[in-house]
Amino acid sequence: MTTTSRRAIVLGVGGLALALVPPIAAALNQPFYVDLFRRMMIFAIAAVSLDLILGYGGMVSFGHAAYLGIGAYAVGIPAFHGVDNGFVQWGLAILASGLAALVIGAISIRTSGVYFIMITLAFAQMLYYLGIGLETYGGDNGMRLTRRSLFGPVDLTNPAVFYYVVLAILLLFLVAGGRVVDSRFGMVIRAARSNEPRARAIGFSPFRYKLAAFVIAGSMGGLAGALLANQTEYLTPDFMHWTRSGEIMFMVILGGMGTLFGPVVGAIVLLLLEDVLSALTAHWQIVLGPILITVVLFARRGLYGLLAGAPTRDG
Amino acid sequence: MAEPLLAIRGLRKRFGGLLATDQVDLDVSEGETYAVIGPNGAGKTTLIGQLAGDLRPDDGAIRFAGRDVTRLDAPLRSRLGLARSFQITSIFPDFSALANVALAVQAHTGGSFRFWRPAAGEPSLTRPARAVLESVGLGGRADVLAANLAHGEQRQLEIAMALATKPRLLLLDEPVAGMGLEESQRMVRFLGTLKGHVTIVLVEHDMDAVFTLADRISVMVYGRIIATGTAEEVRGNEEVRRAYLGEDAPPPC
Ligand SMILES: Nc1ncnc2c1ncn2[C@@H]1O[C@H](COP(=O)(O)OP(=O)(O)OP(=O)(O)O)[C@@H](O)[C@H]1O
Ligand SMILES: [Mg+2]
């Protein structure tokens, strides 16, 4: 089976399953599930965006939560000043996080390995402390989002409507992501990950392609942040904390780097595990750690590799 | 006489206390196959690295196709028509053989800011890639993952990637290293078919390959070129026999 047809099947089946969550939750009289799965999908969007640069581009960005935070504040700050228009807020989220990614990427992409990790981490922590310094917007306590983003007749206060908006964005990103990684552009960043000296020797200058991928991923992460602010109706600098970045990275690794769908599985499983384990014990992180290590050691392609038997990353 | 395709003047490269390239002057004319031989650690790979743009020389100048390329980086030089193979096989292991070569074609056909159309479905990339694979004898292995190719096939793939960039100058760093006798003879025959069509700078320890292919040979020892000439001249050179071929080297045949 080709990668493309496998993707189409997974997308169809997975999309349908997720689309059935609201009616099933309604039938079971468990509205909580709509909330939980929406949260999972929002993190899935962030994880998919990270996979684009981590899995396909080989860029170990340890500061991806920065974009989540920028996106959230791009909703929260206008809302605080009475601007509730969703197009303005979400557009601002995409632009501001893309711009931040442009600056961070321009500085970090010339380095590699540990330096790259440290620089991306440092930028994210800088933004985290910047958030704490924003006294007007609640400082380290953050602030409530007085109302969800307004999109005319599309009413995000309706849980199911908001759910399907998030689902549509996730599916859109998965379809577009699938095209991008197979396109000429995708081939360049994958080639650079696979063997950068070779890519340069045949005539590619990978820098600007990697930077473009970094900006795209940052913008997607920013949109996820805008969704997250609407989800929690609260935003704090914690959105940008390095543990959050680590969590998103775990979702990608757990689900399967360079598989695009894997990070969705990773986001769902990780949040589910956190939910279940934290109900059982206060020391749930101690249980979670070994589980993650086991997956990383024994399933190189993550959970998605186990499930779909995806043999290879590249064509 | 026309300017040589490649002209190296006063090239010098130092690694700490070690002079790996010591005042090298070298001219390669269009269409020529030029071999650089020398003992291990003589500085041959270092020279290739400076020609390809991976290593910055400390001093000296490199002119290629009538322009000074000393300060240009490797991708730019590739786009001017310089292609290389690496001493230690360098391919994209997690791509198919065809995709490896198609990438080389892609790098030389306009920009790659195209986000929607699958590259694998672009005949303008895959058709020339297939043709080149065919020509190096890998036509039947196009869909095999490069990592799963035999060592000799990976060497062939590397040559295919270099050729797919339609180079004017091919830099080959030990193309038959690690190959079996038959495989290496096949490679030498293939490189022979390139003679005249593309200019080649060949670094090789296999003397059969060198004496079969090379129009001219330079001998490098401790970063210096100690002799240059035709195969006969180099084999007859006393200094070369002492320094490199060894006293008991087989007599010229
Ligand atoms: N990056 C480097 N840093 C320090 N020393 C280096 C570096 N690269 C090469 N050298 C040294 O420079 C000298 C020349 O190395 P080079 O690889 O060019 O030799 P060579 O002629 O290609 O040898 P071989 O036939 O074994 O491939 C060697 O002594 C090597 O140890
Ligand atoms: Mg060498």
pLDDT: which is higher, A131 or A287:
A131
What residue owns the CA closest to ligand 1's atom 16? B43
* ipTM entry: 0.92
Cβ contact, residue pair B103, A191, below 8 Å? yes
Confidence of residue B41 (pLDDT cuts 50, 70, 90): very high
User: Where are the strands (E) in B41-130, listed by range?
Assistant: 59-64, 67-68, 82-85
pLDDT at A160 over 50: yes
Percent of all residues in chain B with a pLDDT value above 90, rounded to a whole number:
80
Confidence of residue A282 (pLDDT cuts 50, 70, 90): confident
User: Which of A56, A175, A182, A184 should be substituted to probe chain B, the one whose Cβ sees the most B Cβ atoms within 10 Å?
Assistant: A184
Helix (H), strand (E), coil (C) string for B161-215? HHHHCCCCEEEEECCCCCCCHHHHHHHHHHHHHHECCEEEEEECCCHHHHHHHCC
DSSP state, residue A203: T
CA-nearest of A49, A41, A99, A48 to A74 is A99
| Average pLDDT over every residue of B117-136 | 94
Rounded CA gap, A88 and A157, in Å? 18
pLDDT at A132 over 50: yes
pLDDT at B244 over 80: no
Q: Which amino acid is present at A286?
A: I
User: Would you state the pLDDT for residue B83?
Assistant: 97
Confidence of residue B148 (pLDDT cuts 50, 70, 90): very high
Q: State which residues have CB under 5 angstroms from ligand 2, the bound ion.
A: B 44-45, 87
Question: CATH 3.40.50.300: does it fit domain B1-81+167-253?
Answer: yes
Q: Ligand 1, residue B38: give the atom nearest the CA.
A: 21
User: Would you state the pLDDT for residue A307?
Assistant: 79
Rounded CA gap, B220 and B244, in Å? 9
| Average pLDDT over every residue of A238-258 | 93
Confidence of residue B246 (pLDDT cuts 50, 70, 90): low
pLDDT at A21 over 90: yes
The residues with which B67 forms a beta bridge, in sequence order, are B64
CA-nearest of B128, B137, B76, B130 to B105 is B128
Whether chain A has a CB inside 8 Å of the CB on B95: the answer is: yes
pLDDT: which is higher, B139 or B110:
B139
User: Would you state the pLDDT for residue B234?
Assistant: 85
Q: Which domains does chain A possess?
A: 3-308 (1.10.3470)
CB neighbours (10 Å) of residue B140? 10
pLDDT mean across residues, chain A: 92
User: Would you state the pLDDT for residue A13?
Assistant: 93
Confidence of residue B245 (pLDDT cuts 50, 70, 90): low
User: Which of A110, A173, A187, A300 should be substituted to probe chain B, the one whose Cβ sees the most B Cβ atoms within 10 Å?
Assistant: A187
Rounded CA gap, B229 and B185, in Å? 24
User: Would you state the pLDDT for residue B111?
Assistant: 84
CA-nearest of A242, A222, A267, A227 to A63 is A242
Whether chain A has a CB inside 8 Å of the CB on B103: the answer is: yes
pLDDT at B252 over 70: no
pLDDT at A314 over 80: no
- Predicted TM-score (pTM) of this structure: 0.93
User: Would you state the pLDDT for residue A299?
Assistant: 80
Domain boundary assignment for chain B:
1-81+167-253, 92-165
Assign B226 to helix, strand or coil.
strand
Confidence of residue A47 (pLDDT cuts 50, 70, 90): very high
- Chain B residue numbers touching A200 (CB-CB < 8 A): 54, 73-75, 78
**Helices of type H across A134-158:** none
| Average pLDDT over every residue of A275-290 | 82
User: Would you state the pLDDT for residue A315?
Assistant: 39
Cβ contact, residue pair A184, B95, below 8 Å? no
pLDDT at A278 over 90: no
Question: Which-ligand-closest: CA of B40?
Answer: 1
What does the block give as tokens for B191? 């490189």
B36, B209 Cβ separation under 8 angstroms? no
Select the residue of B92, B108, B145 nearest A191 (Cβ to Cβ).
Answer: B92
Whether chain B has a CB inside 8 Å of the CB on A202: the answer is: yes
User: If you measure from the C-alpha of residue B19 to the centroid of ligand 1, how many angstroms do you get, rounded to a whole number?
Assistant: 10
User: Would you state the pLDDT for residue B239?
Assistant: 77
Q: Which amino acid is present at A1?
A: M
User: Would you state the pLDDT for residue A11?
Assistant: 92
Select the residue of A184, A200, A313 nearest B106 (Cβ to Cβ).
Answer: A184
pLDDT at B67 over 50: yes
Cβ contact, residue pair A200, B90, below 8 Å? no
User: Would you state the pLDDT for residue A16?
Assistant: 96
Is B33 a pocket residue for ligand 1 (Cβ < 6 Å)? no
| Average pLDDT over every residue of A213-231 | 98
Q: Closest approach of chain B CAs to the CA of A235, in angstroms?
A: 34
pLDDT mean across residues, chain B: 92
Q: Closest approach of chain B CAs to the CA of A305, in angstroms?
A: 16
Whether chain A has a CB inside 8 Å of the CB on B79: the answer is: yes
pLDDT at B105 over 50: yes
Rounded CA gap, A172 and A157, in Å? 22
User: If you measure from the C-alpha of residue B43 to the centroid of ligand 2, how many angstroms do you get, rounded to a whole number?
Assistant: 7
Cβ contact, residue pair B113, A200, below 8 Å? no
Q: In what order do the strands lie in the sheet with B6-15?
A: B18-28, B6-15, B59-64, B67-68
| Average pLDDT over every residue of B239-251 | 62
Quick: pLDDT tens for B179-201. Answer: 889 999 999 999 999 988 999 99
Quick: pLDDT tens for A69-107. Answer: 999 999 999 999 999 999 999 999 999 999 999 999 999
User: If you measure from the C-alpha of residue A115 to the centroid of ligand 2, how many angstroms do you get, rounded to a whole number?
Assistant: 30
pLDDT at B167 over 50: yes
pLDDT at B143 over 70: yes
**Helices of type H across B23-88:** 44-52, 74-80
